[in-house]
Amino acid sequence: MLKVNAIAIFELNKKFGYKKFIILIPAVPIREGTKTNLEDTKEYFKQFYANEREKEIEVFVYESRQISSVEQFICTEHLSVLVMTPSSFDGDMKGISDMEKRMERELAMIKMEESKKEVFGEMENLFVK
């Protein structure tokens, strides 16, 4: 079953360019087995997808209250999978909300810096003439 998932991931990436996948697993032992299997089969899949920029599936595991793994999953440019169980996020909506707020603040700061550069650039053009 897991081999089919990995093949589907590679094929979806190859045909449509998808890079992010979430595998929802019913129990922690199965989640750990899935993570191990994905890591152990990296070399096997390189045989078939090596000409695809040496792709490997980067595996992230979300455990309760470990938002950093979600942030890493979101920020990576590589082909990646987030493996998680429903119980890992049942009570964690606050942590996800905090991360969302932090990312919104960072985005607002970036936009503010870009606006400053734009305004100062326009002002500079006025005085140069």
pLDDT at 20: 93
Along the chain (129 residues), what's the average pLDDT of each consecutive run of 10 residues?
A: 76 88 87 85 78 72 80 88 81 64 84 76 61
Q: Which residue has the tokens 């190859």?
A: 14
pLDDT at 21: 92
pLDDT at 54: 54
pLDDT at 95: 61
68: CB partners within 8 A, 6+ apart: none
Q: Which sequence spans correspond to the domains of the chain?
A: 2-91, 92-129
pLDDT at 7: 86
8 Å CB contact between 84 and 32? no
pLDDT at 126: 62
The rounded Cα 24 to chain-centroid distance in angstroms is 15
b/e map 28-55, b = 16+ CB within 10 Å: eeebeebbebbeeeeeebeeebeeeeeb
Q: At what angle do helices 28-40 and 2-16 cross, to 10 degrees?
A: 60
Record the pTM. Answer: 0.62
pLDDT at 49: 75
